[in-house]
Structure 1
């Protein structure tokens, strides 16, 4: 029954265009702003404490963030509209030479991004701009299996496999060792067993070490990329400088820490530049290190 309900809602939403998703997504964000007072206050307090914003500025930025998040939730319905026309009319490549370098890269690729901007549209952009290469996106499976089945169908493409993060390592590693690319969102909270603890926006956070470990095992290049919204219906693709994991030095654990720190710092820079587009509703700092733990920065 739930499968049928989700399929019916998706079929209705798939007829929406970019403008309708924008207006309805922003309306959804305003609804969440009113319906989730604890998350609203959490976001405002975090912006004051971590970004140094005034309470008034933090509240305005948090409301804008909720509206962006509402759009993010609905933009999965636009994934099928990411095509060459989308690239011509709506997408701005901020650094074309970096994209050309990425497209000519023959090494395995671990692409890292965040719940920032139009993250649901980043998967089809990733698929479209890297033709001919085997690709995967690794996602966290929700508890609702019917919802998971629907989102997997909406995200999948012929050469883009959606991989559940549970037991994903063997499949991802095979893809990378065949010269493919795997993409991860690396800004979510994670369990202690999956984490390396690193500073993020001035507080210690549990950072998923899985992408770092897989990149190191495959000898991959780590490519940060982000899809930000601009204007009423445009998007900008940012490609930040890469990290070659073969050049990382130290013990095995030190290498993992350095790679994870690399992508954590890139995400932090982007969040500081565009705080209104980040997912502040998330309890990012929920998992903390054991009592008595102290942070030791890796040696450069």
Structure 2
């Protein structure tokens, strides 16, 4: 519980501090994040950036460093959730494509909101909840129960609900949300132990979770891709894409593949436009340990 109360104390400080101090703390956390990142993960991120984006090493190093450093800002933004309200949304977040979200919601089949580990995905969920939409987001349970309680408590401050991505009861809860014509938040850019399919991502094969397409096919719910961009200090752009759908034919594999392939292409597009916003430290292609950590041990 010590970690829980430490985070609560830091949250209180950030909620009552001037902007310059919040930025200073964010920069400090970002600096420390880079320092404690294992060397093999740094090399993996840099090489993956070079391979995916076709940039030279110096540029890849800048992107990798910025990708890690931004977690300082992301953390301070989350810790300031207690003081976020609709006024913050109106003054700091520009929404592009809200008509797509509203049109999908008006179909009354539920909406599956899909994003990646891009920008501040926690603030993205908070923003949708503050917009007045009933949102339940799928999350992975943290190993540390105190920290799990903390992050879920803060996620719920704007009205967002959370369900874990494991267990039969979670599946039933997710289906109930869509039957009740509510919104479901999904992170779709990391592989899970659940049903997945091998697709190309930046020209390399990787496993992609099929949850979004599965529930769209099951319930007829539209899939709406959305992403949150940092646009300067305390300014954000929430970009919403036109909806996708999973058809329901006799060819289940193709039905699931089509929308997931489109989602991966949209994510590629977002990353190319704002490469430092994505979580490059994740071993997305499941070859990082073999290519970088194991060779480090051998050396």
Q: Give the TM-score taking structure 2 as reference length.
A: 0.86
1:143 correspondence with 2:113: no
Alpha carbons 1:78, 1:121 under 8 Å: kept: no
For residues 110-168 of structure 1, give each alpha carbon's deviation from its aligned partner in whole angstroms, at most 9, with x where no partner exists: 0000111111101111111234x3x2000011211221111111111474211111122
1:216 corresponds to which residue? 217
Return the alpha-carbon distance in structure 2 between the equivalents of residues 215 and 23 of structure 1: 43
Partner SS for 1:166: coil
Gaps of 5+ in 2: 289-299
| 1:230 counterpart residue number | 231
Match of 1:11 in 2: 9
Q: Aligned partners of 1:22 and 1:278: how far apart in 2?
A: 20
Could you tell me which residue of structure 2 aligns to residue 125 of structure 1? 127
Deviation at residue 103 of structure 1 after TM alignment: 5.4
More helix by share: 2
- For structure 1, the residue ranges without an aligned partner over 5 or more in a row are 289-300
SS in 1 for 2:181: coil
Distance 1:184 1:14 in 2: 29
What does 1:1-300 correspond to in 2, within 5 Å?
3-17=1-15, 19=19, 20-36=21-37, 37-102=39-104, 104-131=106-133, 133=134, 135-157=135-157, 159-167=159-167, 168-191=170-193, 193-245=194-246, 247=247, 251-286=251-286
In the superposition, relative to structure 1, how do residues 160 and 32 fare at CA in structure 2: closer, same or farther (>3 Å)?
Answer: closer
CA distance in 2, matches of 1:53, 1:128: 38
CA contact (8 A) 2:101 2:224 kept: no
Name 2:297's counterpart in structure 1: none
CA distance in 1 between partners of 2:10 and 2:183 (Å): 32
CA 1:159/1:89 → structure 2, altered by over 3 Å: closer, same or farther?
Answer: closer
